[in-house]
């Protein structure tokens, strides 16, 4: 039987990818930011997940105003790197797990979550930066990935509550998959960030830290945070945090926090990272 053994969350700031790709991680601006991921890279090397269900958002690399799926699950064989800004990152293709992905799609759709099935898609920094942070710069990524793209770019994004419930449905899907697989689920994006306008650079460290605390202490509070609170307190792109709630919902009632990192600034945003283990 497949098992969800851990949840990981991380910001996916494109400048982190550019820093890695251009050999700048040891520079004074970046060193302490990247140091917070050393623990996780060593832990991942020991955990050896077979598959990561990677919850991310596309930034107009695969989807644009022509098509805006709320929840899109990647059921393809592989995904190439794409990006705006610095351009496609020089990282290996991401290898999918079509059998598991189709199983999750079927299970979630019959569980009344109307997933969009995507067989062809390029993946941008939303997905590749977390892979680099957790796995470094290997010739090939060490596990398969089931990409789950969430619309947090164009209003209306899904509610945190809906995301949490989707995580619970994904956990049921994984638990009913017969193959013996070590599966992790990752949530990406966040934390405080506002990239444009008069409030650009807004950082609310107190709010961010409470969100990190309550992933363990009070996840029921998090699932009911309204969109307007994310926007007001963490900036317009802070809404990416609803994706962390898919990860959290998939872990069950109790979790243990194994590792946390919070750093400001990278680009003009806060970096948040946490590793959780289910306890039930
Ligand atoms: C930036 C872009 C993002 O998608 C994000 O999540 C954080 C930061 C940026 O351009 O700095
Ligand atoms: Fe983003």
Q: Which pLDDT does position 204 carry in this prediction?
A: 98
User: Cα(175)–Cα(159) distance, rounded to whole angstroms?
Assistant: 25
pLDDT band at 45 (very low <50, low <70, confident <90, very high): very high
The residue annotated as part of the active site, out of 193, 261, 263, 273, is: 193
pLDDT band at 14 (very low <50, low <70, confident <90, very high): very high
- Report the nearest atom of ligand 1 relative to the CA of 240: 6
Average pLDDT, stretch 133-158? 98
Q: Which of 151, 190, 136 is nearest to 17 (CA)?
A: 136
Q: Which of 226, 211, 229 is nearest to 270 (CA)?
A: 211
Q: Which pLDDT does position 75 carry in this prediction?
A: 98
110, containing H or E segment:
helix 98-110
3-state secondary structure of 16: helix
Query: Is there a catalytic annotation at residue 261?
Result: no
Kindly state the percentage of the chain with pLDDT values over 90: 99
Query: Is there a catalytic annotation at residue 125?
Result: yes
Average pLDDT, stretch 17-42? 98
User: Could you tell me the distance, in angstroms and rounded to a whole number, from the CA of residue 241 to the centre of ligand 2?
Assistant: 10
- Report the nearest atom of ligand 1 relative to the CA of 11: 6
User: Cα(218)–Cα(250) distance, rounded to whole angstroms?
Assistant: 15
Q: Which of 195, 192, 166, 46 is nearest to 108 (CA)?
A: 166
How does pLDDT run across 88-105, given as a tens digit for each residue? Answer: 999 999 999 999 999 999
pLDDT band at 142 (very low <50, low <70, confident <90, very high): very high
User: Cα(148)–Cα(235) distance, rounded to whole angstroms?
Assistant: 23
Nearest ligand to the C-alpha of residue 201?
A: 1
- The DSSP bridge partners found for residue 54 are 147, 186
Ligand 1 contact via 267 beta carbon (within 6 Å): yes
How does pLDDT run across 159-192, given as a tens digit for each residue? Answer: 999 999 999 999 999 999 999 999 999 999 999 9
> Residue 46 burial by CB count (10 A; 0-12/13-18/19+): exposed, middle or buried?
exposed
How does pLDDT run across 226-246, given as a tens digit for each residue? Answer: 999 999 999 999 999 999 999
Average pLDDT, stretch 185-205? 97
User: Could you tell me the distance, in angstroms and rounded to a whole number, from the CA of residue 266 to the centre of ligand 2?
Assistant: 13
User: Could you tell me the distance, in angstroms and rounded to a whole number, from the CA of residue 223 to the centre of ligand 1?
Assistant: 23
- Report the nearest atom of ligand 1 relative to the CA of 237: 6
User: Could you tell me the distance, in angstroms and rounded to a whole number, from the CA of residue 59 to the centre of ligand 2?
Assistant: 7
User: Cα(181)–Cα(91) distance, rounded to whole angstroms?
Assistant: 25
Query: How many alpha carbons fall within 13 Å on the CB side of residue 76?
Result: 17
Strands 144-150 and 78-79, sheet pairing: unpaired
Q: Which pLDDT does position 94 carry in this prediction?
A: 98
pLDDT band at 32 (very low <50, low <70, confident <90, very high): very high
Average pLDDT of the residues of the chain: 98
User: Could you tell me the distance, in angstroms and rounded to a whole number, from the CA of residue 103 to the centre of ligand 1?
Assistant: 32
pLDDT higher than 90, residue 29: yes
Query: Burial letters for 250-265: b for 16+ Cβ neighbours within 10 Å, e otherwise?
Result: bbeeebeeebbbbbeb
Residue nearest atom 11 of ligand 1, based on CA coordinates: 267
The residue annotated as part of the active site, out of 12, 59, 125, 261, is: 125
Nearest ligand to the C-alpha of residue 267?
A: 1
Residue nearest atom 5 of ligand 1, based on CA coordinates: 13
Cβ atoms of residues 97 and 144 within 8 Å = yes
pLDDT higher than 90, residue 63: yes
User: Cα(230)–Cα(201) distance, rounded to whole angstroms?
Assistant: 15
Q: Where are the domains of the chain?
A: 3-271
Average pLDDT, stretch 21-36? 98
Q: Which pLDDT does position 55 carry in this prediction?
A: 99
3-state secondary structure of 144: strand
User: Cα(260)–Cα(273) distance, rounded to whole angstroms?
Assistant: 6
User: Cα(120)–Cα(117) distance, rounded to whole angstroms?
Assistant: 9
Average pLDDT, stretch 6-20? 98
Nearest ligand to the C-alpha of residue 56?
A: 2
Q: Which pLDDT does position 280 carry in this prediction?
A: 85
- Report the nearest atom of ligand 1 relative to the CA of 268: 11
**Record: fold of 3-271:** Protocatechuate 4,5-dioxygenase; Chain B (3.40.830)
Average pLDDT, stretch 44-71? 98
- Report the nearest atom of ligand 1 relative to the CA of 85: 10
Q: Which pLDDT does position 107 carry in this prediction?
A: 98
Q: How much is the pTM?
A: 0.98
Ligand 1 contact via 272 beta carbon (within 6 Å): no
């Amino acid at each position: 039987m497949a098992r969800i053994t851990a949840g990981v969350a991380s910001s996916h700031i494109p400048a982190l990818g550019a820093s890695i790709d251009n050999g700048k991680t040891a520079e004074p601006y970046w060193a302490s930011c990247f140091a917070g991921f050393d623990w996780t890279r060593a832990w991942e090397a020991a955990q050896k997940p077979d598959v990561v269900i990677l919850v991310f958002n596309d930034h107009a690399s695969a989807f644009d105003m022509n098509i805006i799926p709320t929840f899109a699950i990647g059921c393809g064989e592989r995904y190439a790197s794409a990006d705006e800004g610095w351009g496609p990152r020089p990282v290996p293709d991401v290898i999918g797990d079509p059998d598991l992905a189709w199983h999750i799609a079927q299970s979630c759709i019959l569980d009344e979550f109307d997933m969009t099935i995507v067989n062809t898609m390029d993946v941008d920094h939303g997905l590749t930066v977390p892979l680099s942070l957790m796995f470094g710069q290997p010739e090939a990524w060490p596990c398969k990935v089931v990409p789950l793209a969430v619309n947090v770019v164009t209003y209306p994004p899904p509610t945190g509550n809906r995301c949490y419930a989707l995580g619970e449905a994904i956990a049921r899907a994984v638990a009913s998959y017969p193959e013996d697989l070590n599966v992790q689920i990752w949530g990406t994006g966040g934390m405080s960030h506002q990239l444009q306008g008069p409030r650009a650079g807004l950082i609310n460290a107190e709010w961010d830290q409470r969100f990190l605390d309550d992933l363990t202490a009070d996840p029921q509070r998090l699932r009911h945070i309204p969109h307007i609170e994310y926007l007001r307190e963490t900036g317009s792109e802070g809404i990416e945090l609803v994706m962390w709630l898919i990860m959290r919902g998939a872990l069950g009632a109790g979790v243990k926090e194994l590792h946390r990192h919070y750093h400001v600034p990278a680009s003009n945003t806060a970096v948040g990272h946490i590793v959780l283990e289910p306890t039930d």
